[in-house]
Structure 1
Amino acid sequence: MQSRTIKDAATRKSLATMLERIEALSTVHRRLYQSKDVSRFDVADFARDLVTDLLTASGRSEIKSTLDLEPIVISAEKATPVALMVNELVTNALKHAFKEKPDGTTAGRIGIKMSQPDGHFNIEVSDDGVGMADASGDASFGMRLIKSLARQLHADIEWRDAGPGTKVVISMPNEPQQKGNVS
């Protein structure tokens, strides 16, 4: 309601971006409190819901998603930073990757893959858009937020040219209790 009364477009845009982050956090907390074990968080289910919600909210029906999500459960304390990173990466792809192409279309694909190879929990967010000019810079708040959250999780993060598009790979150590069935 408040954003509708603000005349400055940059301020309105900033508030809208903040609201998207708050909604991602709200989804995490709702999922935690609805689960049987509030100390554990199913990242794959969250990612599936988040991507669907973000694509729907963007109104960009021409952008499709490809999800390759292993069932992965993490501790509740890691849920918020992981959720915020996934939210930022998907939101950034929706905002920046799919500019109008020479043929006049803006269609594209966003992919999310979550896996647990060799003692790590990996998240890959990719798009087939225009690619990133400079992923090493700290130009945007979103980029700084992602890097800060990765440090908090002791995760490595890498931006790759996916030609076409961009792939971001986040790799963090697995928690010992993640292996096998969750009890």
Structure 2
Amino acid sequence: VSPVRDVSGAVIYFFASQLDFTNIKSKEAELARARHIAEEEVALRTADLTEALRAKTALVHEVDHRVKNNLLTIASIVKLQARMTDNEVVERTLMSVLNRVEALSTVQRKLLNDEDVGHFDVADFANTLMLDKIGALKRTDISLTTDLHEVVVPATKASPLALIINELIGDAIGRGLKEGGGELHLEVKRLNGHFLIRVVDTVVPVEVDSEQAAFSKKMLEASLKQLRATIVRTVDGRRTDVRVTLSVKD
């Protein structure tokens, strides 16, 4: 309401205006209801997705658990067969199989205990495997050094990586660590979109089983090919330096 005055300032009448907000308020109410409905639908959808993710994670853990148990069963069977045979060649072959099955079993144990089942920590696995294998030798004359940095890759690469690391460490053990001790250095780190697995050993060389060495080489080559990895081996007297490089694509 606004007063209208004459030239002397006296109010002669009032001017009033009115605006109808009914439609605007109605639209605001409709928008509020729509927003509330949308928020409820989003909350329900989020709850459904959360439950689906929980169920999927539980299923993956259950599958990993069963795979781990199956590998342990296979390892037990192979170990029993190796103990029962009187043939040294057969025993060595079975122990070679057992060695690789145990490496894969370690992978499954790591994946099962990790909350992020879709990824695999290479350095953590490599360190665990090295300590397990060197510890099994029960020698006090092996010097271990490491340079380990977190390198996480998709879990699909876990098995071939485990076999590669197993062959590299196993090769050092077979060429001298098992018989006469020595030095072993393990390195895992990133290198500009790639990562490096390096195993360096210094040992007094011993004669190795040619058939086992040939099979180990084939196994290593197959795993390297699967991951499109490259390998460089340098031998300088008693020192052997092996470097495996491959890309990291998450």
User: Normalization by structure 2: what TM-score?
Assistant: 0.63
- Structure 1 runs (4+) deviating above 4 angstroms are 130-133
1:27-73 alpha-carbon deviations (Å, 9 max, x no partner):
10111111111110111111111111000112233112111111111
Of residues 206, 210, 218 in structure 2, which corresponds to 1:144? 218
1:114-162 alpha-carbon deviations (Å, 9 max, x no partner):
11112211100110124699xxxx9611111111111110111111114
2:249 matches 1:172: no
1:50-69 superposed matches below 5 A: 50-69=129-148
* Equivalence for 2:162: 83
2:91 matches 1:12: yes
* Equivalence for 1:181: none
Q: Which runs of 5+ in 2 are unaligned?
A: 1-79
Query: Compared with structure 1, are the counterparts of its residues 153 and 73 closer, same or farther at alpha carbon in structure 2 (3 Å cutoff)?
Result: same
TM-aligned CA deviation for residue 97 of structure 1:
3.1
1:73 is aligned with what amino acid? V
Q: Relative CO higher for 1 or 2, CA cutoff 8 Å, sep ≥ 6?
A: 1
TM-aligned CA deviation for residue 12 of structure 1:
0.5
* Equivalence for 1:35: 114
Of residues 186, 196, 199 in structure 2, which corresponds to 1:112? 186
Of residues 74, 79, 83 in structure 1, which corresponds to 2:153? 74
* Equivalence for 2:54: none
1:142 is aligned with what amino acid? S
Residue pair 2:137, 2:178 contacting (<8 A) in 1 also:
no
Q: Distance in 1 between matches of 2:242 and 2:205?
A: 11
Q: Distance in 1 between matches of 2:232 and 2:81?
A: 37
Q: Distance in 2 between matches of 1:139 and 1:9?
A: 16
Query: Compared with structure 1, are the counterparts of its residues 160 and 131 closer, same or farther at alpha carbon in structure 2 (3 Å cutoff)?
Result: farther
2:101 is aligned with what amino acid? I
Residue pair 1:99, 1:130 contacting (<8 A) in 2 also:
no
Residue pair 1:132, 1:165 contacting (<8 A) in 2 also:
no
2:231 matches 1:157: yes
* Equivalence for 1:44: 123
Residue pair 1:97, 1:127 contacting (<8 A) in 2 also:
no
Question: How many residues of Structure 1 are paired with residues of Structure 2 in the alignment?
Answer: 167
User: Normalization by structure 1: what TM-score?
Assistant: 0.84
What's the secondary structure of 1:7's corresponding residue?
A: coil
Q: Which runs of 5+ in 1 are unaligned?
A: 101-105, 178-183
Query: Compared with structure 1, are the counterparts of its residues 40 and 2 closer, same or farther at alpha carbon in structure 2 (3 Å cutoff)?
Result: same
